[in-house]
Amino acid sequence: MRARGLFILVIAAAAAAGFGMPHLLPGYLVNILTEALIFGLFAMSLDLMIGYTRLESFGHAAAYGLGAYASALLLLSFDIPMLIVIPMAAIITGVVAMPIAWVCTRSTGISFAMLTLAFAQLFYASVYQFKDFSGGSDGIAGIARRAGPFGIDFFQTKIGYFYLVLIILILSFLFCRSLVASPFGQVLAGIRENEVKTRTLGYNTRAYRMVIVVLAYAFGGLAGALYAPLAGFASPELFFWRMSGMVLIMVIIGGRGTLVGPILGGAVFLFLEHELSALPMVRELWPLIFGSIFIAVILFAPQGLWGLFRSWREKRRIGVVSKPQSDAPHAAS
């Protein structure tokens, strides 16, 4: 019940903010907000692995870059409407992720993190290697948001594109929320908590891990696929490990294992970075500020800002006199 109330609140807030805001804001801010939402989606996709399955990926940029390059190349090479290209790019990312998932799930823990990183770097290097195809260090420019199907052209505008991203984010959130509460999601929770035990219960845990890696990449690819038509270009930086690190930090700051936390973490921090870096005073200081926030969250709110907010609400709800709630980071939402 509590979760449902919260859920409605979030959706309502997102919708209200979404439907009012773009019309009041200058165009460049609409674009930044759109990018923030895309980054929220990207962070949420990583949360499926980190928060719900304890698969710490340090190479999630691979998903983002694959989605972005797939949508860029499809839009430039074929006469396919953007609304079809975007899901196609997500599916392509998922398909490419299958062998990656097969290799990476052979290990767990730090080796898993390193393997995911290795794949991302492999793509990064490949972009430079296959210049004819990928544009090399120049990336791919001039990506158009092509109209259609059926002559739909609303999503080509800045505001229209914002709505498209918002709708896709909400639908993706609803899907993932259902996923983590499903039987499949319960098995993931078992793997997160104790993989050996889950296996002896009769679950082929590696198969479950492979499926969630593929799904997380597909959603990460969806975010990347939305990014390319927004920015109008795709660059190798999208595959770079810095991207993987950023999104990982945002998941942890937002609150892993909550879906909402990483969405807000990803969106808010991307937005802040954009805005604060524009101020000459702050530009140099931003990494310092961001780093300090990260350290503070790790030390004082290991379940992230959303987790902190949730346990604060919980305490208020049950009153101060009762026993302290456990600080476990993975409470089901």
**Tokens read off for 315:** 């305490």
**Tokens read off for 110:** 């730090």
**Nearest distance in Å: CB 102, other proteins:** 16
Residue 260 vs 267, nearer CB to other proteins: 260
Q: In whole angstroms, what is the distance from residue 118 CA to residue 212 CA? A: 19
Question: Do residues 17 and 166 make contact, with C-beta atoms less than 8 angstroms apart?
Answer: no
Residue 127 vs 176, nearer CB to other proteins: 176
Tell me the longest C-alpha to C-alpha distance in the chain. Answer: 67
**Nearest distance in Å: CB 301, other proteins:** 17
Nearest residue to 43 via CA among 212, 267, 225, 198: 267
Cα separations (Å) of 148 from 43, 49, 61, 135, 191?
Answer: 29, 34, 29, 27, 43
**Nearest distance in Å: CB 255, other proteins:** 15
**Nearest distance in Å: CB 332, other proteins:** 8
Residue 315: CB partners within 8 Å, gap ≥ 6?
A: 325
Question: Do residues 55 and 213 make contact, with C-beta atoms less than 8 angstroms apart?
Answer: yes
DSSP track, 90-116: HHHHHHHHHHHHHHHTTS-HHHHHHHH
**Nearest distance in Å: CB 330, other proteins:** 5
Residue 189 vs 253, nearer CB to other proteins: 189
Residue 50 vs 234, nearer CB to other proteins: 50
Q: What is the CA radius of gyration of the chain?
A: 20
Burial class (CB in 10 A: 0-12, 13-18, 19+), 316: exposed
Instruction: Tell me the residue ranges of DSSP E strands in 48-158.
Output: 140-141
Residue 107 vs 194, nearer CB to other proteins: 194
Q: In whole angstroms, what is the distance from residue 179 CA to residue 91 CA? A: 18
**Nearest distance in Å: CB 70, other proteins:** 23
- Category of 93 on φ-ψ map: left (φ > 0), alpha (ψ -120 to 50) or beta: alpha
**Nearest distance in Å: CB 211, other proteins:** 8
Residue 179 vs 282, nearer CB to other proteins: 179
Residue 163 vs 203, nearer CB to other proteins: 203
Q: In whole angstroms, what is the distance from residue 26 CA to residue 143 CA? A: 22
**Nearest distance in Å: CB 163, other proteins:** 24
Residue 18 vs 190, nearer CB to other proteins: 190
Residue 68 vs 90, nearer CB to other proteins: 90
Residues that bind other proteins (CB under 8 A): 175, 178-179, 181-184, 186-187, 189-190, 193-194, 196-205, 211, 215, 326, 328, 330-331
